[in-house]
Structure formats: structure tokens, C-alpha cells
Structure 1
Amino acid sequence: METVPIQMPDGTTTPVRLFPGADAAPVVVMFPGLGIPAGYYEPFADELVRRGYNAAVGELRGQGDSRPRPSSASRYGYQELVCVDFPAMFEVVRERFPASTPYLLGHSMGGQLGVMYAARIRGRLGGLMLVASGSPYYRGFPGVRSPGLLMGSAAMSMTASVAGFWPGDRLDVGGFGRQSRVLISDWSRFARTGRIQPTGADIDYEERIARLKLPVLSITVEGDDMAPPASVRNLVAKLPNARLTTWHQPARLGHNGWIRDPGSTVDRIATWLADRE
């Protein structure tokens, strides 16, 4: 594994991890879920390399080995991650794997951000893989979780606004960890409205996402309460023109377990990638 640190305009240093495999094989570029460090995905990246692919894992700003931690000075949200951080990380990936077609694999929020990034760059990705990644829109969650998410997301946004950041290191709600208040505000708005309308947006993301025609593999996971089937359907419904393939992981691995038990999920990804060649 190689690690390349990237300095963002706000002074944050965020690393991207590179896992070389076969020279001209596709490179799967993974982005984590909220509150999950990039290092947690190393077993999945190692399994991809074992199957003959190249892999990379981008850290989300403020998480894992990214420094400094979010504070009241942090002003980044969905917009900055897809406009600044993702392009910087993909530049590193393309320099390291110049002969490889990049595919973006997004987990949870990483998938939401991946869809936004794809809408910005259009044809420069081989495709998207969305694993345990859905819309946080409250209507996509069953039973009492639906009104709980509606009220809880509003309360989280208000708390982050008052505190200056989301104090997830002290309030362990959702396992989100300490986060920028703008990022939490963007997530909360998405959860309440079902629409991707980040603070500072320079394009109409909903309209641009709807025009995407690239291949998309959406994987749901048995036992995943964070991205249940209706939540995932709400996210992929934003991609009516994409060439969508869906698969349900039958093993009860939940929202994160597939990362550390990668075999069958990588099997399905390898089959999908083979169809792209």
C-alpha cells in the first residue's frame, strides 16, 4: 500500500491510499461512509488486488487520518467534498494508474457523494458501484424510524449550528463521529426533503444526476438498517437514465460487515466489471 497526503485549501491534510495490482486492470476508487475511517476498508481493497484489480481508498475530510479534526472553523460540506477533495484524489489515482479505467465505489454517504461527483464529470468514470448506499430521506425508512429520522436530522443540524460543529465524539448518534456543521446541515436537508441540494451548490445536482447514462451497480445488504431497500431505491431512482444493475447480498452482513468479509461482494463486483470490458 502507498499513502499520498493531499492538502486541501482550508489547510486540511487528507490522505488517499493506493493498492497496486495489475498494470492495466481497472482501478476501484472507494469512498467511505460518514464516521468510518478509510483504513477500515483495507481488507476489501486487498481482496480486490488479490482478484487482479487496482484499488484506492479516499479518506473523507475530517475523518480517520485526515487532520485537523472538524471544528467551528470548518466550512465544508457535500459541495466542497465533490468539487475539491474528490478531484484531487482522482488526480492522484490517475497519475498512479494511468492505464486503468477508474470505477467509483461509494459506501453509504460515500455513494451519495459519488453520484454527485459523477454528475459533475460525466464521462470520466467507467461506472459507479453503490454498496449499502441509499438516500437518507426519512420516507425510505420503515416504522418509527421514519419520523425519528425526520425529527432527529433536524435536531442534529440545530445542535451542529449551535456548537459550531457536530460533536459526534461526545454525542454518539448514528456513529457519525465529529463532523463539520455544513456537512451535517447538507445531510439533514437531504434527510428531510429527499433532494440533493448542498450548501453553495453551483449546479442543479438533481437535474445533472438524472442525465447520467453510465453503468451503475447497486448492492443492498441483508440486515442493513442504515440503508434499507426503500432507501436504496430512493437514491437509484435519481438515475433513470443509468444502466442499472442491482444485487442483494444475502449474507446478513449489515451496513459495514461486508467490508471485513469481502469475498462474495467482490465476486459480484468482479462479474459486473467483467461485463464492462
Structure 2
Amino acid sequence: MTTSAPDSTGYVQDHLDRGTDRIGLQIYPEPEGVAGAPVIVVHPAMGVPARYYRSFAAALRDAGLAVVVADLRGTGSSTPRASRASRYRYAELVDDVGAVLDALKPRLDGRTRVLLGHSLGGQAALLHTALAGGEGVDGLAMIAVGLPYWRVYPGVTGFGVLPMTQTIALTTAVLGVWPGWGFGGRQARGVIADWAFTARAGRFPLIDGVDPAPALRQLRTPLLAVSVEHDTYTPATTLDHLCQMLPGTTVSREYYTAAQAGHRMDHFTWARHAEPLARRIADFAAGLGARTSD
């Protein structure tokens, strides 16, 4: 892992080599006055760079948490940018989550660690944790995450979701890469194909040839699952559908409202008005207890 000097925002920019790709890691300073603070590893939404979460990271630090934000492949400081040559899909994103944890091991040893995912990043964090049998992860926090199954959207919305997602997949297959036209940023065709499958089928695709459904049913890692008011991309029903796949774990199912935040929010802007949510995440991390072994 390579390291650069602290950024003007306070974080250190690291990079983790993953074959021909490099994953960008933004490592924030430890919270002041909190020895051995729980570590929150944030995995962003599709097409959203890690730097977008700077104010959220500040709120988490103010709540007494250590913070690392990892760019998804091809996004932000991760390189290269997605192209027709990119062959990765959900399986590689899931594997990246474990690689990031391995790279952060010196920082994580002996400390409570929570994987926090937003949208696609939440799916990757959840799948990694389930397929790894919960090893190395004390808690999961999923914010504005859902399985975008067209049948579970409220009202007639799903009848627009299905053609939209499948048209994006078809366009990507023809072009060899999704250019990011109005949605999701530039993406590898495998990622778009897997995402479109979830919208069509209501379940996850095979991950390296393995159906993740049994591992999800057996998951025991505590989960904080938070829907955001006015989120049209992953409304509460899509997260409810995902939580139904996790019968074995303790789910704290919550809703983050504009009244709590003091601002109107959507699928993305909650991260800029997250002080109350950061305190709730800190409470969730504290409730997991001290880590007994690594």
C-alpha cells in the first residue's frame, strides 16, 4: 500500500494495488481524545468519489469514531477509470472489501470495526461479510442501500425502474462501458450487468460462481439499516426487501428524516447533513462491545 502526505482536508491518501487496478483509500486522523476508537470503513455509492463523504467523515470523527473511506474501482482516486477493457463486476468489488480490511489490519487490530456502505458500497460490504462468515467484521451499517427490485418500489414507480435499468444494461453491452449518462458515473459493463440483474430478478448474482443467498441467510453480524427520507433510488421498500434476506441477524431498522437532519435530503445529500446519523452510528458501534480477538 502506498501513502501520500495528508490532504488539505486532513486525510491521508493511500492506494492499494489490486492487480492492474488501484483502490484509493482516504484515511482520516484519529478522533481527538478517544484511544482505540471504533473504526468505520466507508464504501461509497456507485459513481460517488470518496471525497464526497468529507463532511460525513468529519461528523463521524466528532462522534468519536476513526474513519477510512475507500473509493470503488474506477471511481475517484481509484485507477484506472472504467473502460471497454475493464472486466470486473460485483465479485471483484466484494473481494476489494476484504482486501481493504487486510490492508488496514495494523490500524484495526484490537478495535471494533464496522463496515458502512452507501448504495452499491453497502451491497458489496454486505456480500463480503456474508461470504466471509462474518469474520473480521463486528457490525454493518447500511445507509440508503437497497436491492433495486422493480416489483418492490411503491406505487407504479417499479414500472419505470425495470425499463430504465435494463436499457442502461443494454446500452452498456453495446458500448462496452457505461459512460455515466445521467446515472451512476462511468462504470464497467460487468458491474452494470450485475446491478441490472438485481433490479430484474430481486436477488444478487452469483459471486465467483457462488450463490450468496445461503450465506446471507446464515449471517449473524449485527446490522444497522437506515433508509433516508425522499430517497427515490433506494426507497425504504428496497431496503426492507434486502433485510428479508437476512433472517439470522439482528437488524436495527431505522429511518433518517429531514426533521432529524434539519435539511431536505435525497439518496446522496444525506451525507452532507449527517451529524445526528453519525451519533447514531457511534451508539451502534459502542453497543457491539470490545473486540476480543483478531
- TM category (shorter chain) comes to over 0.9
Selected match of 1:241 from 241, 245, 248 = 248
Selected match of 1:166 from 145, 167, 178 = 178
Tell whether 2:102 aligns with 1:91.
yes
Separation of aligned partners in 2, 1:132 and 1:73: 30
Separation of aligned partners in 2, 1:56 and 1:63: 16
Return the offset for 1:274. 2.3
Tell whether 2:182 aligns with 1:182.
no
After TM superposition, what 4+ stretches of structure 1 lie above 3 angstroms from structure 2? none
Structure 1: 5+ residue runs without aligned partners?
none
Separation of aligned partners in 2, 1:91 and 1:260: 29
Q: Which amino acid aligns with 1:130?
A: M
1:20 aligns to what? Answer: 29
Separation of aligned partners in 2, 1:98 and 1:46: 23
Q: Which amino acid aligns with 2:21?
A: T
Separation of aligned partners in 2, 1:135 and 1:87: 21
1:81 aligns to what? Answer: 93
Separation of aligned partners in 2, 1:33 and 1:164: 21
What CA RMSD, in Å, does the superposition of the two structures yield over aligned residues?
A: 1.4
Selected match of 2:13 from 3, 7, 13 = 3
How does the TM-score come out when normalised to structure 1?
Answer: 0.93
Return the offset for 1:20. 3.1
Selected match of 2:62 from 47, 50, 61 = 50
Selected match of 1:192 from 200, 213, 216 = 200
Separation of aligned partners in 1, 2:232 and 2:223: 22
What secondary structure sits across from 2:204 in the alignment?
A: coil
Return the offset for 1:226. 1.1
Return the offset for 1:224. 1.0
Separation of aligned partners in 1, 2:56 and 2:154: 30
**Number of residue equivalences:** 270
Q: Which amino acid aligns with 2:25?
A: V
Moved more, 93-102 or 242-251: 93-102
Return the offset for 1:46. 1.7
Structure 2: 5+ residue runs without aligned partners?
1-10, 259-263, 290-294
1:210 aligns to what? Answer: 217
2:235 aligns to what? Answer: 228
Q: Which amino acid aligns with 1:24?
A: G
Tell whether 2:145 aligns with 1:138.
no
Tell whether 2:230 aligns with 1:219.
no
% same residue: 35
Q: Is the contact between residue 60 and residue 275 of structure 2 (CA under 8 Å) also seen in structure 1?
A: no
Separation of aligned partners in 1, 2:142 and 2:108: 22
